[in-house]
Structure formats: C-alpha cells, structure tokens
Amino acid sequence: MDAAEIRELRPGECIQIPLQPGDLFRIENLEGGAEVYALPYAPSGSLTGAAIGLAAESVRKIDLSAFDARTYESWVSQHVAIQSANLGYRIFDHKTEPGDMLTFEAVSQCILWLVAPTRLETLHEGGGGGVVQVHLTRAVTPSISLPAPLGDIRDEFTVDRATARSYRVNRGEVIQVIDVRGRQCSDFMALRSDALDQGTERFIESNVTRSMVGGAYPGPGLYDKFYDQDMQPLLNVVQDTVGRHDTFALACTARGYEERGFPGHVNCSDNISDALDEYGVQRRRAWPAINFFFNSWILPTDNRLQSDEAWSRPGDYVAMQAMDDLVCVSTACPDDIDPINGWNPTEIHVRIYRPEQSIRRSVAYRASAQSEAILSQESAFHPRTSKLTQRFSSARDLWLPDAYAGTGAIEEYWACREGVTVQDLSSLRKFDIMGPDAGALLQHAMTRNIAKLAQHRGMYSLLCDDTGAVIDDGTLFHIAPQVFRWCCGSDESARHLKVLAQKMALRVWIKSQYSAMPNIAIQGPRSREVLRKLVFTQPQVPDLENLKWFGCTVARLHDRDGAPFMLTRSGFTGELGFEIFCDRRNAVEIWDEMMTAGSEFGIAPMGNTALEMIRIEAGLMVSGAEFGGDVDALEAGLGFAVDFKKENFVGRAALVRNAENPKKKLVGLIFGGDEHPGHGDGVFLGERQVGLVTSATHSPILERAIALARVAIEYADEGTALEVGRLDGHMKRLSGQVSPFPFVDPKRERARA
C-alpha cells in the first residue's frame, strides 16, 4: 500500500490492512452511527489488541451474520487459531457522531481486520451504519505497492521494468498479475504444457478468444475465458480491478520502434521469445499477447486502433485461474515513447496461488473516477439465486441474475404480467437523510414538493443540477419524523446532497446503507395475495391492505417476533408490486418464505433481462439511456416529476427556460416487425437524422419491436412516420411510428390496483 492511503469501510462489510511497527492509521466515522470493530491478528494467528494499543479486557464476540464475513472467514480458516476467531474490539458504537475519529499506531506486525456490522433497528429508525474512512500512513514507504494476498501463495516474483519472465502454472492455480505503480502495461501469454511436450505450440489466440466470448474484454462471469487455436479454454478470469485491457494488437516489436526512429529499443516480443527459449518455443518477431492494463479502443465511427494512458492504479490487478497445466510469460512493457505506460515504464508483480481456494469472482466498481475501487460482491440472496442460475452480471458493486435456468427471460416476463415474480434488486442505492433540517435539504434538492410527503408515504422524484440535467432519480420515503430514505440508482446522490447540506449549513446527516440493506421486488397481479400469507404489521403503522401506491410500512414475517423489513408498494415494472428492504442476516429466510408462500400462485424468480423488457413497455426511464450527462429532466421524459409550482429547487430556472422553448422530446416508437434497434441508433426522417434511440426491446405482449427515442420536437407528434437507421444509419432502416408511452397500460391502472 502507498503512504497516506485512504480506504473505505461500508456498512455490513469488512476490510483487511496489513500493518508494520510504526504505521499510523486514522479511522474517521464520516456519516456517524457506524459501529466498528478492530480485529488485529499477530503472525501466529492469535488476536493481539496490544499490537495497536487496545486493552485485552475490551474483547467481545462478533456476530458474523451482521456483516458480509465471507472473505474474513476464508482468511481465518487458514491463518487464525480457533480460540481467537470471531473476537474483536469495539472502537466505535452506533452513537458515534459524523466526523468522530480515532488514531492508532501499530506497535508490532499484525493483520488488521476492520468490521462494520449492521443493526436491525436501522429498518425501523433509519440512519444506521454509514461510511467509515481509514487514512493509513506507513512508517516506511514500501518499495512497491501490493494489494493484500488473495489466498495461500505458492510463488511470487517481480518482473523488472523492460523485462519478461516465464513460469509454470498447474491446473487450478490462480495467477495474479499486479500493476505495482499504476499505468504500466504487462503483456501476457500462456501455452499448454501438454502440447509443448508433444512439440506443438498452442497458446492464447486473441481472435478465437474474442469470437468465443463475444466481446473484446473478457471479464469474470459467463464471458470470462482465454482460448487457444483449438478453442480450448486455457484461463478463466476470476478478478479484475481495472476492466480495460487490450486484446486487439500484438506485444510491442522491434520493428514498431524502428519505424518511429528508435532502432535497438528493447521490446516485449523479443523479451517474450527470450523468456520462452528454455521451453523450446519458436522465436517470433511479433508475439500476440493479452496486453493487461493497456488502454486501447476502436471508435464505432473510426477504424483506427487508438490508445492512451492506462486506467490502472497502483496495486490494480487481474487474477486468472489456470484451466490446464500452462507455461506462462509476463512482461513489464518498456514503451517510453508513448503514453501507454505513463511515459515511465515500471515493474510488474506476479503471484501464483495454490488451487482449491475460495477467491471470489469480481470486477471493480468505482462510484466516481476518484473513488476507491470496490470489488463486486454476491448479494445477500445469492445463496438462493445461485442454485437457480449461473447467469449473473455486475450491477454496480453486486452480481445479480440476468435470467434463471428453469424458466428463461420470456417465461419470467409472462409470470410478472400474469402471476407473480420475485427479483433481487439489491444494487439499488439506499441513503437515509435525517435530522432537523432533512426536510429543508430535500425540498431544496428535489424536483417534487416534499412538504406534501406524509409519514409512511413515498414519491418518485429527481435530483437535478443547476442546468436542469438529471443527476439521479429514485423514490423518497418518509419513514419517521425527520427521517427520509432515498432509494435511487447512483452514489452521486449522496455526494450531491452532502455538498448542498454543507453549502446551506444545514443540520442533517446522510448515511449510506449500500448492500447492508438488500432488497427484493415482488411484482405481478398476484403479488398482494402472496404477501397476505407473510406480512404482519403493528396497529400503529399501515397494514398491507391499506398500503396505497407509493406507501411504505414496517412489517415482520408472520408475527411480532418475525424477521423485520420495510415494505413498500413500489416497483419498476408498471404492474401491481411491492418491495422488501431487509437486514442481510434475514435475507435468505425472507426469500425462502416468499417462495413457499408463492408456490400456489406459481411464483417465479425474475432476472434483469425480463425486467428490461417490462420497464421499456412501462415507459420507465433509466440512467445511461433516457437520462445522464447533460440531458435535462424534460428531454428525458421526466417532466411529470418536476413540480413547477414550487418556488425554488436546484435546476428550476433552467427547466422553466427549457420548457418554454423545447428542442427535443422523448417519445415512443412502435415498429412493424420483430427486429428492434439498439441503444444509440439514429432516428431518421429521410436522409436527415432527427433523434436517437435511448432504449429498445421486443415486446412479447405487443408482439412487435418498440423503443424509446429522443427526437426533435418538430417530429414528436403521435403517428409521425420515422425510421431507425442501422449499420451506418443508411444501409438498413427499421420503419416505425411515434407512439405515446407507456406502451402497455398507459394509465398505470395495474400498478394502482
């Protein structure tokens, strides 16, 4: 780790920090209310509070179900004495104020785990947990910056700048290629050992790999392998903290430098040949390779391969599991005449881990370009969803199902339309806004009139910037006096609200729940019937039958002692539906009870693929499609969520101006056939482009393709004949007509049922 490193600890999670004598770390409770435990372990595996100056008598048992303990438990099983497991020192309790901090100095070497368990009361009271920040300053700056090991290391070595090194890897072992100082390309090649033994060279072939995985950048999950010329998988990507690597080009060559005026420049292709010489591998003037951390791209409007500085930061890595016995080679690219290595070639570090270790599949998620990378995790419902499907994709920092093996997207779609479905939507962001000025902040920030929002009620609203562009959308629930819960799509919501609160000097606290509060959606015309068998409410809160559209209540499973959860009448399908927000330790129980209660109604789990079809039919907008960037609320089709009767809110002046002179409008398009366009395809009137498609799908219920599109106001009238251009926009056209939306149930009578 670098000196002055900053780490984040989120509610319901844990982090690991190796410490050496003299290391200083400051723990700051940014949002207040976070309970934090310190678990320092000596190299012998015993708990040692003295290593960071903690008294032995303050040790207490830690509830592993109160946080995501999978990585901690895996590490403990290999390194910790049984009598020391699951014990820790509480250094912050839930009454901590925002900004409270503690500073510690490591007296001796230890591995420090920091844990932020969640409290069940969070659902009732709001505001539990919150983000904690750790500022680490090393007593001695390490010569290289390496992340914590992923497991039991068999071997590790550093590849010095401008060199290459070959090594053997056995089937099942995991290779971790680490960018030590950031922005350093590392060419990688692997050959099958059995083929080499027979005098044949079979190695990673980029064209085969791209064809087999259907994409340029293999990543953890379904499309995650590197293949050889025989289409045999050689490596399986397990973790990737960058997400941007090149699979288009060769490793750098002597000829490439010569033609730019640098004869004799050291190059990766020659280095690879030198490193593989001992295995009898044929030398090549140009080696194909997977260029880790090399940032390249091909624009859809330009056929040229382009590159720039890498996205990787110190300690970023790619981890791959060998699917066969392999001979591998890794380079530290010597290119110092291009920006690809930040103009300063540095070293690469390689670790090889023994097989049969639990290394979680994950890719990096960053809330913003400056944020710490968060590796995608499995949601609290994963123990159940993973038994039903292997089709997962990353949704922000979580893996969520795309579709289920026993049904498929179309069957899940019809289950939602005609029966009832349950869906894991835990990547939804949940922020509690609380305090005496919470209402004032939200009234200033939101486009709707928050003064009208009664307790146990919610409303859909927007956050806009001064230009009227949509920062985020979501549903705001009034869960208690001076306590609101904002359920939205982006971490930017919290940052924006905090900036406004500070600027206005308001007494308000904004606490982030993240995955500590997983949630599922129960949607479809029979959803209320399922919940009738499960939901218990106290007399002082709304019961299920009286829960109106956008209402919320606090409920329990079956009776007063059952698992608690927040129940809302909301969803993203346009159907009658509800959502449940619970503590992670109750997630599996709630899923099981839901599936049991729904069996007589044919309840089916639903993935994101079916949801995408349904949300487009319902005319519901999403970030990155209908809004995002500089698209204002009106052009995004979200004018219904803007209350111009409010005297003031962020973005109002710009939206008033734009409403008087609109240039574009979001409309529906209905096509005559089944083929639907893609996101970003141009909308044409003759030869002139007049708009673009924001979302499109094939509608099973309408039996034709539909789309949402942003078009010039002059061509937005219902019935206007327009075409969507595919290929270059002119070679292929899909004919359609402007249509109002929602395409299905335009008065939203189903959701109000």
Q: Looking up tokens 């060559």, which residue turns up?
A: 253
3-state helix, strand, coil in the chain (%, to 5): 20, 35, 45
pLDDT number for residue 2? 47
Q: How confident is the model at residue 4 (pLDDT cuts 50, 70, 90)?
A: low
Spatial distance between the Cα atoms of 234 and 398, rounded to a whole number of angstroms: 27
Spatial distance between the Cα atoms of 387 and 592, rounded to a whole number of angstroms: 13
Kindly state the helix (H) or strand (E) to which residue 236 belongs, with its residue range: strand 233-240
What b/e readout covers 262-299, taking b as 16+ CB neighbours within 10 angstroms? eeebbbbbbbbbebbeeeebeebebbbbbbbbbbbeee
CATH for the stretch 443-513? 3.30.70.1400
pLDDT number for residue 222? 60
Share of the chain above pLDDT 70, in %: 99
Q: Residue 524: is it exposed, middle or buried by C-beta count within 10 angstroms (0-12/13-18/19+)?
A: buried
Q: Sign of the CA dihedral 64, 70, 71, 74?
A: positive
Encode pLDDT of 35-73 as tens digits. Answer: 999 999 999 999 999 999 998 777 889 998 889 888 898
What integer is the mean pLDDT of 364-380?
85
pLDDT reading at 3 higher than 70: no
pLDDT reading at 145 higher than 80: no
pLDDT number for residue 514? 81
pLDDT reading at 1 higher than 50: no
Encode pLDDT of 564-587 as tens digits. Answer: 999 999 999 999 999 999 999 999
Q: How confident is the model at residue 293 (pLDDT cuts 50, 70, 90)?
A: very high
Domain ranges of the chain: 5-137, 153-356, 382-426+518-614, 443-513, 663-753
pLDDT number for residue 218? 72
CATH class of 663-753: mainly beta
Relative to beta strand 483-488, strand 470-480 is antiparallel
pLDDT number for residue 544? 97
CATH for the stretch 382-426+518-614? 3.30.1360.120
Structure tokens that stand for 521 in this block: 């959606």
Spatial distance between the Cα atoms of 574 and 590, rounded to a whole number of angstroms: 24
Q: What is the pTM of this model?
A: 0.92
pLDDT reading at 371 higher than 70: yes
pLDDT reading at 612 higher than 90: yes
Point out the least confidently predicted range of 142-146, 152-156, 723-727: 142-146
CB-based contact 190:203 (threshold 8 Å): yes
pLDDT number for residue 521? 98
End-to-end Cα, the chain, rounded Å: 56
Spatial distance between the Cα atoms of 346 and 545, rounded to a whole number of angstroms: 65
Share of the chain above pLDDT 90, in %: 79
Encode pLDDT of 7-17 as tens digits. Answer: 899 999 999 99
Spatial distance between the Cα atoms of 295 and 299, rounded to a whole number of angstroms: 13
Q: How far is CA 248 from the centre of its chain?
A: 26
CATH for the stretch 5-137? 2.60.120
* C-alpha distances in Å from residue 302, one per residue of 71, 624, 655: 44, 23, 36
What integer is the mean pLDDT of 475-492?
95
Encode pLDDT of 506-563 as tens digits. Answer: 999 999 988 789 999 999 999 999 999 999 999 999 999 999 999 999 999 999 999 9
Encode pLDDT of 686-705 as tens digits. Answer: 999 999 999 999 999 999 99
Structure tokens that stand for 131 in this block: 């983000």
Encode pLDDT of 650-674 as tens digits. Answer: 999 999 999 999 999 999 999 999 9
* C-alpha distances in Å from residue 727, one per residue of 113, 210, 731, 732: 53, 21, 6, 6
Spatial distance between the Cα atoms of 603 and 445, rounded to a whole number of angstroms: 39
More confident residue, 475 or 125: 475
* Summary mean pLDDT of the chain: 93
Spatial distance between the Cα atoms of 706 and 699, rounded to a whole number of angstroms: 7
pLDDT reading at 369 higher than 60: yes
Point out the least confidently predicted range of 112-116, 302-306, 493-497, 647-651: 302-306
